[in-house]
Every structure is written in C-alpha cells, then in structure tokens.
Amino acid sequence: MRIATWNINSVRLRWPLLKALDAALAPDVLCLQETKCPDEFFPRAEIEALGFPHIAAKGMKGYNGVAILSRVPMQVIEDAPDWCARGDCRHLVALLDAPGGPIELHDFYVPAGGDIPDREANPKFAHKLDFVAEATAWTATRAPTRRRVLVGDLNIAPLEHDVWSHKQLLDVVSHTPIEVDAMARWMEQGQWHDAVRHFVPASEKLYSWWSYRARDWAAADRGRRLDHIWVSDDLRGKLQRQHILREARGWEKASDHVPVMVELAK
C-alpha cells in the first residue's frame, strides 16, 4: 500500500503531471493540497482516466483546496471541525478500504503563516498557530483509533536538517521554535510517528519544497521539508520505504513542492 502527498499548486494547471508522478511512485492513494479549484471544476474525468476511480475533492475559488485520489475504495468522513471557523478547504478525512484493514487517512493543508513570526503583528501567523492547536486537540481525540495516517503540506520544517540552514531560518516562518514546538505537541498528543524520518537519519538533509524565487533551485538547494507523512504506532512496523520525488521539482511547469510517498506492508 503506497500513500503519497503532493502540494500540486493548482490541479487544473498541473493534473497532467500526475502521469509522471504515477510512473515514478505508483501510489495507491494520493493526497493533494492547494488544488485552488471549486469542486464543480475539478478535473475528475481526466484523473479517473489516469487510474484513480475514487476521488474526494474539497475546494474553493482561488485558494486552498484538498483532494484524495485513490485506487482503493474509500468513504469520506464528515465529522471534522470547521478549522478556525473560516470555511476553508484545508482538511479531508477518509476511511480507506486497505488490504489488512481500514486506514483512517487525514489530508491536511496547514496555513503558511505569512512573513512575520509574531502572533500579535501578523494575523496569518496567529491563524497558523490556532489551526495547529485545533488540529492537535482534535487528532488527540482520534489517538485511540487504530491504523491512522496523516499527510499533507504542514508548512513546518521541524528538524535542524529539514532546512538548508537551521541558523538562518530560526526566525523564518516554517522553522521558528514556536512552530516546531507546536508540531511536536501535535505529534505527541496524536501519537503520530514521522514515517519519512523513520528511514532517513535526522543528521541527513531532507527537503520537499524549493522556492520559485531561486535562480537555480537545484544548484542553490535551499530547500525545506514542509510535506509530511505520519502514521499511528500500530503502522510503524508496516513501513517498507519512503520516497521523496526530488526530480519532480525539475519537471516542466513544476510545483514548488514535490511528492512524498511511503509504502506500507499489508
């Protein structure tokens, strides 16, 4: 069972790249973020034709938007909160009909948080912290549930080597101690385990995002690991491998994020 996540940065613009993603990773389930697409315009038929017959999409005009594309049947669960009471499309939950038993899958798109890492000076940063706090409290109530997977663009790079320069990013939104602490609480209270770092030592650099603003993203290699896959304790022993598809950043009309995938044994 291969579960992947990708911030696609406009599904209408980039859905054709799913073909290359599928050739490289062959995910059974792919969670998308930043689809930027109202549900009535979601390229459903095109994506079904690529081999994902089960599609759940929750989008809005212009911003945000999440979707789950699946080869296995799934049931969308509707009892999640309206995060920060904004009506944003930043979260989908589905129960996957997975081999070995159902998996509760969460697809999150955490607010980026703006530029200034100060709750008082920057309402976007306050929104990010509030969102993570609500997600922490809610997923903690799910903690006793077996076989859970949480993926998404969480917009936080928690470890020193999840960014190109720990020292230079300590005051940059995505890597500040307040965000890193909030993420640690989220993982702890939800009993989540980092499924990608499970395979890659903390001392090794690991990124899933490179800014569009670099002249040469690969040469500069100033990345951050903003996209994550977490699993519940009972799935830790099932982890087979991880793959961060770095080459996707070099694709024609690339997203600034690359797909991240984890394989679970039955």
Pairwise CA distance, residues 26 & 1, whole Å: 10
Q: Per rule CB under 7 A, is residue 249 in the interface with DNA?
A: no
39 part of the active site: no
* Nearest residue to 236 via CA among 181, 182, 197, 189: 197
Q: Report whether 97 belongs to an annotated binding site.
A: no
212 part of the active site: no
* Nearest residue to 151 via CA among 100, 205, 192: 192
**Footprint of DNA on 173-232 (CB under 7 A):** 211-213
Query: Which residues fall within 8 angstroms of residue 49, CB to CB, at 6 or more apart?
Result: none
Q: Per rule CB under 7 A, is residue 86 in the interface with DNA?
A: no
Q: Report whether 263 belongs to an annotated binding site.
A: no
Query: Cβ 182 to DNA, closest distance in Å?
Result: 17
Closer residue to DNA, CB minimum distance, 112 or 140: 112
Q: What is the DSSP letter of 54?
A: E
54 part of the active site: no
Q: Report whether 256 belongs to an annotated binding site.
A: yes
Pairwise CA distance, residues 108 & 110, whole Å: 6
Pairwise CA distance, residues 108 & 183, whole Å: 13
Q: How many residues comprise the chain?
A: 266
Query: Which residues fall within 8 angstroms of residue 121, CB to CB, at 6 or more apart?
Result: none
Q: Report whether 155 belongs to an annotated binding site.
A: yes
Query: Cβ 2 to DNA, closest distance in Å?
Result: 26
Residue type, 212: Y
Q: Using the rule CB under 7 A, give the single segment among 6-14, 47-55, 142-150, 242-250 that binds DNA.
A: 6-14
**Footprint of DNA on 94-153 (CB under 7 A):** 111-114, 124
The active-site residue, picked from 88, 91, 109, 227, is 109
Contact residues: DNA, CB under 7 A = 9-10, 12-13, 36, 38, 61-63, 111-114, 124, 155, 211-213, 253
Residue numbers in the known binding site for Mg(2+) are: 7, 34, 153, 155, 256-257
Residue numbers in the known binding site are: 7, 34, 153, 155, 256-257
